[in-house]
Homo-oligomer: A and B are copies of this chain.
Amino acid sequence: MSSTTGRAESRVTIADVARQAGVSVPTVSKVLNNRDDVSPDTRDLVSGVLASSGYRPRRRQREAPAGPLLVELVITDLTSAYALEVLAGAEAGAARSGAGLVVSAAHDRDGEDRSWLSALRARRPRGVVLVVNRFGGGSVEEVASLGAPVVLLDPAGSSDPALPTVGATNFAGGVAATEHLLGLGHRRVAVITGAPFLLCSQERLEGYRAAMARAGAPVDEALVQPGDFTAEGGQRAAATLLDLPEPPTAVFAGSDLMASGVYQEARRRGLRVPDDLSVVGFDDVAMVRYMSPPLTTVRQPLGEMASESVRMVVDDVRSRDGGAPRRPQVGGVSSRGVAPHVQLATRLVVRESTAPPR
C-alpha cells in the first residue's frame, strides 16, 4: 500500500489494490463495477482491500456534479413497519432537498451476501444514510470507506463517534412508558427489551429502571425479559411473564411489533387488553392504530429522523461540492468539525391498551 496519502484525494490506485490483493487490475475493476463474472471469494478479498486501503474512485470528481443528486438509503431489511416509516420520511426529505433516493436492502444479516455493498460501490454514491441498527460488524466502516458523507440513522451503538448519527430520546421514552403505567396504579410492571446488544434497547431499559426506582417500586428481575424486536419474540416473552407465579399486570414492550406479540399471547390465554393486562409499545408505527385495542405507545419520530438524516447528507454533499449549505449548519455533517449526534424527542401516545389494574 502506498505510504503517501494526499490530503485532498487518496493516492491509492486500482493497481495498488490489485497488487495487495494479488489479483489483476481488470479483476479489481470488475469488482468496482459490480460485474458478476467474479467469484464470491475474490469479490470479498478485493472488497476488503478496497475498504482497508482507503481507495476512492477518481471518476467521482468528474462525474458527480452532472445530473440531479442521488442519496442512498441502505437499510437492513424492508419487511417491517419500522422500515416503512423510515422510507417514507427519507423519500419526503429527499424530495424536499431536491434529491432522488436510491433504496437498497442489505440482505446479509448473517454476513454471507455482500452484493448490496458491491452494488453500492459501483453506483459511486455521493451520500449515504445507513440504518444500521441490526447490521453485522464491519459494514459501517466499509460504507464509510467509500468516501461519501454517511449518516447513521438509529445507531446500533456509540462505537464510532466520528460518524454523525440521528436517533431518538430512547431513555426518556422508557421513563415515560413506565411512569404512565405506574401512574395508573400498576406495581408489577414488566419490560420486554429489544435486542440486548443495541444501544436503543439498553437506553429504553435504563429508562424503565430509572422510573421504577424514582417511584420506589422494586424491580423484580423476573419481570425483565429479553426480546428481539419481533412479534414472535414478544409472544414468547409474554408467555414466560404470564407463567410466573405472580404475573405482571402491565407490560412495557420495547417495540410495537413485540407489543402485538403480547396481544397474541394474552388472547390465546383468554386475557383481555387492557382489562386483564395493560400493554405499552414503542415506535408508533402506522399499524398500531389498527390493532384491537389501539395501542398506547411511545412515539419515535422515525419519519422525521429519516428526513433529517437525508437533509444532513445532502447539506454535506452540497458543501463539499463548493456550494453553501441551504440552511444554517445546525445539524449539518461537517468533515471539518466534530460529527453531530442528533436525538429527536419521543413522546407517549395514550390510546386504549392501558388501564388501572383490577
Contacts and interface: CB of A to CB of B under 8 A. Distances in A.
Nearest to A75: B91
A293 B67 CA distance: 50
Q: Which 9 A-B pairs have the closest CB atoms?
A: A260-B290, A78-B88, A84-B84, A287-B287, A103-B103, A68-B122, A267-B292, A100-B102, A91-B105
B95 A84 contact: no
Interface in A164-191: none
A218 interface: no
A102 B103 CA distance: 6
Contacts of A101: 102-104
A98 B84 contact: no
A36 interface: yes
Interface in A101-116: 101-105, 107, 115-116
Interface residues of A, number: 48
Interface in A294-345: none
A256 to B, nearest CB: 9
A150 interface: no
A148 interface: no
A107 B95 contact: yes
B102 A102 contact: yes
A31 to B, nearest CB: 13
Given A264-B292, A289-B231, A290-B257, A104 B123 contact: no
Contact of A290 (B92, B115, B119, B287): B287
A104 B95 CA distance: 8
18 contacts: A36-B98, A67-B122, A68-B119, A70-B123, A77-B88, A79-B84, A81-B287, A87-B87, A91-B103, A91-B104, A95-B115, A95-B116, A95-B119, A100-B102, A101-B102, A102-B103, A261-B290, A267-B293
A123 B105 contact: no
A88 B95 contact: no
A233 to B, nearest CB: 13
B290 A231 contact: yes
